[in-house]
Amino acid sequence: MARIVMDDLHKVYPGGVKAVTGISLDIADGEMIVLVGPSGCGKSTLLRMVAGLETITGGTLTIGERVVNQLEPADRDIAMVFQNYALYPHMTVYNNLAYGLRNKGVPKPEIDRRVQEAAGMLQIADYLDRKPRALSGGQRQRVAMGRALVREPAAFLFDEPLSNLDAKLRVQMRVEIRQLQKRLGTTSLYVTHDQLEALTLADRLVVLNGGQIEQVGTPMELYRRP
């Protein structure tokens, strides 16, 4: 768990596109921040900068005690959940969850404990021996979440994780993500286009526009009448 501090972050892509321009945000330990805003406003770029998947061209990003500007993704202690699941098709659910931990040299009993615990929380314990193709969309999405969970990271990053699911499942999963995030108390950044998803999940909403923060506040603060 960790506080995340963005101090005057900038991203200029090679070629000159200014995707993020002077974003400062102090995210409390355990807080769920939802990023919203029109297409092209910089949501994905900001998330990928926190993940270490994009370089930071200006400003300072601190996760926990450390300035992480120059750190590789693996050294940032964060885990990202993508909309396209990014599961390994040839591996069982168990191995999809265990793979990253094995690569990190986590001992086998510890891997087993984490996989079983995550599978229990996500209600996929009965499917550990299946391959992803034998799962429903919702189950695959749970496996993708499980891969993030087993890392026991300081922070979760969610990039529109529910956008491939049907409407009913989206509603169910957003409630479950909310409960899980509160139970684990893991600082989270969540990008979505879906306004109800944003309102359900957010401790605070951050509205981006043109690479800058337009508004920040709790759902109550942003949606009460003036």
Positions that interact with ligand ADP (CB under 6 A):
13, 15, 17, 19, 37, 39-45, 51, 73-74, 79-80, 99-100, 103-104, 147-148
Q: Which is nearer to ligand ADP, 204 or 225 (CB)?
A: 204
Q: Closest CB to ligand ADP among 53 and 196?
A: 53
Cα torsion 59, 68, 43, 220: sign: negative
What are the start-end ranges of the H helices in the chain? 43-51, 93-103, 108-121, 137-149, 167-184, 195-201, 219-223
Question: Residue 183 in contact with residue 190, Cβ under 8 Å?
Answer: no
Which token pair is 205?
A: 């909403």
Q: Which is nearer to ligand ADP, 103 or 220 (CB)?
A: 103
Residue 40 vs 217, nearer CB to ligand ADP: 40
Taking the C-alpha atoms of residue 62 and residue 76, their distance in angstroms, rounded to an integer, is 10
Q: Please list the helix, strand and coil fractions of the chain in percent, rounded to the nearest 5, in that order.
A: 40, 25, 35
Q: Rounded to the nearest whole angstrom, what is the least distance from the CB of residue 225 to ligand ADP in the complex?
A: 27
Bridge partners of residue 67, in order along the sequence: 62
